[in-house]
Amino acid sequence: MIDSPEHRRLFDREGGRHRFTARRVRVTGVTDVLGRFVRVTVAGDELSDFASTGPADHMKVFFPDPESGILSGPEALGPGVDGIRRPDGAVFGRDFTPLHPRRDPSTGLPALDIDIFTHDAPGPAARWAMTAAAGDELILVGPRGSRRAPQGVDRIVLVVDETALPSAGRWLQDAATSTRVELVPLIGGQLDWVESYLREFGIPARVHRDGGSALYRLRQADVDDRTFVFAAGEAGTLVEIRRLLRHELGLPNYQYAVSGYWKQGEAAFDHHAPIDPDDNDDPEPSRLVAAGSRPRPDEANALGGRNR
């Protein structure tokens, strides 16, 4: 293992904090994209100062109560102001990756896409996506900060399942032109659709398809001391991936980032939970956002307290 100031600099990730607020947005389009993704386009004036410059950025998306259909979530403290007001009662917030922030030429409104994977045990998010329609409303909170891809590395290896494919697309877009990006899918079955999904992001990625297991594929990827690894998916599955990176390959913790995007059998999983509580000296998971942008206590409560 190399762990020196020069080596550490290779993996520097530029970061910054954004205005932390809640934004009410309206669905303007719903399309089926590849695999089992529903792409929801949302737009609204409140997105005018929305910023997201990091590939692992995420926002908490608040969905309507699946029973009553009523949407509640945090509210902005005021225009241009940093901070949110906590909602009373239960909320249904889940984490998603913002895609393609832009100004929609047809409406002139700021807009972005959310690709929602309609998984087998759909909760409030996936269930909502299956019947989403133009005119529906959502509330978005975050991202509170961004960290860019390390610009000095030779390779970035992305170990991802379906839920982290939107993020993989963003890693492809943010990688330096001199950086090769490779994908180790935590996805079973036919993988042609994964390549097609990623192609939309404009930069080709090599997809490791050999062998059945992700561990085998990751070993085949030959991670060296100029490779950064991002792994995201089901939290339990990531335990052995993280052990391989940390113990078998002996990577220093600035050379990889592992993030549990969901956990089998657990609704509204909190991705700040350590992947392996018995073996945890990774930096705070908020390193995936801006350095020094740890949630303040009021932010953490507003997002987590009564989430169902």
Shortest distance in whole angstroms from residue 171 CB to ligand FAD: 13
Closest to ligand FAD by CB, 44 or 233:
233
Closest to ligand FAD by CB, 95 or 182:
95
Q: Give me the helices (H) in the chain, please.
A: 5-10, 124-130, 165-174, 192-199, 214-220, 235-243, 297-304
Is 244 among the residues that bind ligand FAD (CB under 6 A)? Answer: no
Closest to ligand FAD by CB, 25 or 125:
125
Q: Which residues pair with 117 in a beta bridge?
A: 37
Residues from 59 through 118 that contact ligand FAD (CB under 6 A) = 94-97, 115-117
Does residue 233 contact residue 263 with C-beta atoms inside 8 Å?
A: no
SS3 state of residue 305: coil
Shortest distance in whole angstroms from residue 120 CB to ligand FAD: 5
Measured distance CA(180)–CA(193) in Å, rounded: 21
Rg (CA), the chain: 19
Is 26 among the residues that bind ligand FAD (CB under 6 A)? Answer: no
Residues from 143 through 172 that contact ligand FAD (CB under 6 A) = 163, 166
Residues from 173 through 202 that contact ligand FAD (CB under 6 A) = none
Q: Where are the beta strands (DSSP E) in the chain?
A: 15-17, 22-32, 37-43, 59-63, 75-76, 84-85, 92-96, 99-103, 110-117, 137-141, 145-147, 155-160, 180-185, 206-207, 227-234, 256-262
Is 16 among the residues that bind ligand FAD (CB under 6 A)? Answer: no
Is 58 among the residues that bind ligand FAD (CB under 6 A)? Answer: yes
Shortest distance in whole angstroms from residue 248 CB to ligand FAD: 25
Name the DSSP class of 245.
I
Is 123 among the residues that bind ligand FAD (CB under 6 A)? Answer: yes
Is 261 among the residues that bind ligand FAD (CB under 6 A)? Answer: yes
Measured distance CA(160)–CA(123) in Å, rounded: 21
Tell me which residues touch ligand FAD (CB under 6 A): 58, 94-97, 115-117, 119-126, 163, 166, 261-269, 271
